[in-house]
Amino acid sequence: MKQLRAARALGLPDWCIAAGFVRNRVWDHFHGVVPPRAPADIDLIYYDANDLSKESEQAYEAALDRLLPGLPWQVRNQARMHIWKNLPQHRDTADAMIYWLESVTNIGVCLEADDSLTVIAPLGTDDLLNLRCRPTPFGRTKRHEYDERIASKRWRELWPKVVFLD
């Protein structure tokens, strides 16, 4: 919750903490890993088509480091992520997430002003919650990258209950 509170304090538009931070916490829970493993990074994503600068992302990372020092924040504006993927401009954060490789990674959580949680999961949460992993429709077009990513991150070894589907 402390990471969500810090992220909320930035007042970013259309934001969530997503990707491996969420996936790993859920899988660690289902595998009885207590406390959860330290995150390799904390992916804070947002959508702001009016400011596509890398400098803004870096300023947000610095602000987060002041709020919660020493954590591995990665802040990325999804309004500019289409450029390096050679895709059409994304419409919002959820639209950008459908271009991620795995079904269990394109899930994010936002802490609302009233402390309620909003889950952003454009392709659903079933795979994550049922310990299944498969390529997204976009991931199927990048199957080699999908396979390499799973192997390099050692997911099969870290979470042996997860079933990997084609």
Q: What is the pLDDT of residues 112-162, one digit of tens each?
A: 999 999 999 999 999 999 999 999 999 999 999 999 999 999 999 999 999
Which residue type sits at 106? N
Whether the predicted pLDDT of 83 surpasses 90: no
C-alpha triplet 95, 101, 106: angle, nearest 5° = 50
What are φ and ψ of residue 107, in 5° steps?
-135, 130
Is pLDDT above 80 for 84? no
pLDDT in tens, 98-109: 999 999 999 999
Q: How confident is the model at residue 61 (pLDDT cuts 50, 70, 90)?
A: very high
pTM: 0.92
**CA-to-CA distance for 32 and 54, rounded, in angstroms?**
38
User: How many Cβ atoms are within 10 Å of 162's Cβ, its own excluded?
Assistant: 21
A 10 A CB-CB count for 102 gives 24
Residue type, position 56, single letter: S
How do residues 9-51 score in pLDDT, each as one tens digit? 999 999 999 999 999 999 999 999 999 999 999 999 999 999 9
